[in-house]
């Protein structure tokens, strides 16, 4: 009996032992840095040239972050939200086509989706900078066809930033949606057809609900990094399209204002976390596939 109890206790600890490497990793490389960042956000900069800090529980950094950089926060969430919607509009039909009609070409088509990842994020964005330039190939064709005016410009506009975000994060939307769609049992659609449901009704009542976990995962994988991105705003935008990621990068690496930069980072994480929780409340995470 004692041996059986000992065996039961051993088995009860197995899941925790399997989780321990991941928990140690999170504590060391997420928890500890977050505590350090929290301390920095409550410190005061003693020397603006060296970035020397003194911890004194200073909450003025958060007030400065809200008062001075509110427009950058608004633009970050607006641009990230617009890019996420564009990714859903483009990514869902593409993922549906691959999952439903890809056949033996599925793996090749998925490979094409992830192919841009073989090129540096920075290089891809620089390429779009050349494509969208006033004398670039895209606008040159539109102007030659007299579809836009000669003074029409895309580079250094909000649309260029949103387009760059959508392009760079589109695979993060396609892949989880594809996984959700690929798991759907096609016999459900056959059953719906036997019950005289139209293809649109079958899609609306079966495919769409079962694929929502993929949409949820794709939205998170797209919106969260897009909201904190600074590369697209720096290369495709202008000072009028600055996002909060650009401000954090500037405060950390250029201004050496570590307390304000840390406060900005914490505010950004808090707002994103609240938005994700609200989004999950309405869409739900049951059946999440990634």
Contact 252, 261 (CB under 8 A): yes
For residue range 71-87, what is the model confidence (pLDDT) as tens digits?
A: 999 999 999 999 999 99
Share of the chain above pLDDT 90, in %: 56
pLDDT at 190 over 90: no
> What predicted TM-score, i.e. pTM, was given to this entire model?
0.86
The yes-or-no verdict on residue 139 having pLDDT over 90 is no
- Give the angle subtended at the CA of 133 by the CAs of 131 and 134, to the nearest 5°: 130
Q: Do residues 182 and 101 make contact, with C-beta atoms less than 8 angstroms apart?
A: no
CATH superfamily, domain at 78-283? MetI-like (1.10.3720.10)
Average pLDDT over residues 5-32: 77
Distance CA 72, CA 223 (A): 16
Instruction: Report the pLDDT averaged over residues 159-177.
Output: 95
Whether 287 has a pLDDT exceeding 60, the answer reads no
241 near 156, Cβ under 8 Å? yes
> pLDDT tens for residues 89-125?
999 999 999 998 988 899 999 999 999 889 999 999 9
pLDDT at 290 over 50: no
Domain boundaries, the chain: 78-283
| Amino acid 6: pLDDT | 58
């Amino acid at each position: 009996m004692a041996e059986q109890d000992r065996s039961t206790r051993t088995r009860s600890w197995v899941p925790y032992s399997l989780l321990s490497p991941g928990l140690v990793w999170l504590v060391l490389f997420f928890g500890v840095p977050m505590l350090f960042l929290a301390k920095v956000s409550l410190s005061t900069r003693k020397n603006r040239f060296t970035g020397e800090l003194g911890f004194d529980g200073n909450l003025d950094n958060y007030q400065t972050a809200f008062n001075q950089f509110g427009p950058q926060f608004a633009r970050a969430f607006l641009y990230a939200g617009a890019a996420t919607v564009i990714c859903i509009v483009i990514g869902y039909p593409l993922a549906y086509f691959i999952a439903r009609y890809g056949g033996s070409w599925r793996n090749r088509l998925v490979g094409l989706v992830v192919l841009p990842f073989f090129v540096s994020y920075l290089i891809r964005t620089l390429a779009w900078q050349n494509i969208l330039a006033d004398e670039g190939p895209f606008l040159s064709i539109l102007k030659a066809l007299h579809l836009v005016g000669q003074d029409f410009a895309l580079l250094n506009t909000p649309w260029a930033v949103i387009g760059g975000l959508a392009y760079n994060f589109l695979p993060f939307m396609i892949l989880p949606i594809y996984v959700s769609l690929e798991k759907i049992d096609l016999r459900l659609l056959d059953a719906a057809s036997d019950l005289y449901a139209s293809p649109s009704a079958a899609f609306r009542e079966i495919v769409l609900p079962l694929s929502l976990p993929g949409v949820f995962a794709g939205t998170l994988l797209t919106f969260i990094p897009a909201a904190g991105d600074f590369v697209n705003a720096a290369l495709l935008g202008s000072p009028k399209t600055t996002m909060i990621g650009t401000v954090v990068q500037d405060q950390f690496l250029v201004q050496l204002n570590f307390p304000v930069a840390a406060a900005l980072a914490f505010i950004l994480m808090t707002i994103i976390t609240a938005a994700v929780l609200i989004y999950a409340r309405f869409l739900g995470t049951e059946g999440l596939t990634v």
